[in-house]
Amino acid sequence: MIDAHVHVVPPNLPGVGSLAGTLRMRPEAVAAALVAEMKAARVSHAFAMGEWGTGDDDPLGIHRTLALADLVPGLRPIGICCPKRGDLPDHLRRVEDELARGRVVALKCYLGYLHYEPAHPNYRRYYELAAHFNIPVVFHTGDTYSPEAKLKYAHPLGVDEVAVDHPKTKFVMAHLGNPWTVDAAEVIYKNLNVWADLSGLVVGDGLEPTEAEHFDTLNDIATRIRTAFRYAERPNRFLFGTDWPLIPIAPYREFVGQIIPPLHHPAVFEDNARVVFKV
């Protein structure tokens, strides 16, 4: 099984802390915690988001993730796109050099957290490089963890425009645009170069309902995902992801497994990620 969306370092985004206490621990402790979770859930590969705002020597914010990857078999980094530097030729050359080394499985754009729409010109060169190196671009879509974020930039309909304008680039909408899941499903239905991951739909202790209201919330989420999955009519376009350490991997796998029809489990839990991330 492949977890297409984890964190092993704080993202360092505006208005966002470390995300979870685990990410404040020593690197060796973070690695040990992730190895244990992956083993318990039978996860062979995990793709980890890098950190935003690093220096020129780390243009994609992956150095700390790479250090952890030495301790976690199957862990691969996802580089961070910085639209504030997306018009700087020197920065883009360093990005291209890093991609040529083949150490990242994708690029990540933090829509909403950074106040740039997907079609902003400062993202364009990242999309072109992703197409050239045949790696996907992952967008944060939907709800955010920051009061400083602007939701209009994180709406999944914004992905439609760049999917049309960059047909050779593969795009992944993280979190299926939750709560705009049907809008995200329409983008998948219409565009053959768009996928979605199912990460972060529940966080914290959200899989242990102790009150009727909480149980209803889980049912509401499950209903939205089932509806979107059917609407998109493309089971080959959905990817399993967790957002670890915001949610334990094994219980989240069970939650998603109850939503997705068993016929499509091999595709959603592994095969689709092998295609889009070239595993």
Summarize the confidence of residues 201-220 as an average pLDDT: 72
- On the question of pLDDT at 209 being above 70, the answer is no
3-state DSSP helix/strand/coil % of the chain, to nearest 5: 45, 15, 40
E-strand spans in 155-276? 171-174, 194-197, 238-239
Residue 258, class by beta-carbon neighbours within 10 Å (0-12 exposed, 13-18 middle, 19+ buried)? exposed
For residue 66, the surrounding DSSP H or E stretch is helix 63-69
Summarize the confidence of residues 74-95 as an average pLDDT: 97
Residue 24 tokens read as 């404040």
Higher pLDDT: 207 or 22? It is 22
Q: How far apart are CA 66 and CA 248, in angstroms?
A: 22
Q: pLDDT confidence of 210, banded at 50, 70, 90?
A: low
- On the question of pLDDT at 174 being above 70, the answer is yes
- On the question of pLDDT at 207 being above 70, the answer is no
Q: How far apart are CA 154 and CA 117, in angstroms?
A: 8
Q: pLDDT confidence of 206, banded at 50, 70, 90?
A: low
pLDDT value of position 205: 63
Query: Residue ranges per domain, the chain?
Result: 2-276
pLDDT value of position 97: 97
* Domain 2-276 CATH assignment equals 3.30.70.370: no
pLDDT value of position 165: 98
- On the question of pLDDT at 59 being above 90, the answer is yes
Report DSSP state, residue 27: H
The one-letter amino acid at 273: A
State pLDDT tens for residues 248-269. 999 999 999 999 999 999 999 9
Mean pLDDT score across all residues of the chain: 95
The CA distances from residue 263 to 166, 182, 224, 251, 266, in Å, are: 32, 22, 19, 20, 8
Say if residues 123 and 82 touch (Cβ distance below 8 Å).
no
Q: pLDDT confidence of 21, banded at 50, 70, 90?
A: confident
pTM of the predicted model over 0.85: yes
Q: How far apart are CA 57 and CA 76, in angstroms?
A: 19
Residue 15, class by beta-carbon neighbours within 10 Å (0-12 exposed, 13-18 middle, 19+ buried)? exposed
Summarize the confidence of residues 124-152 as an average pLDDT: 97
pLDDT value of position 230: 97
Residue 22, class by beta-carbon neighbours within 10 Å (0-12 exposed, 13-18 middle, 19+ buried)? middle
Rounded to a whole number of angstroms, the CA Rg of the chain reads 17
Q: pLDDT confidence of 117, banded at 50, 70, 90?
A: very high
Q: How far apart are CA 141 and CA 156, in angstroms?
A: 6
The CA distances from residue 95 to 27, 127, 279, in Å, are: 25, 12, 21
- On the question of pLDDT at 20 being above 90, the answer is no
Summarize the confidence of residues 215-228 as an average pLDDT: 92
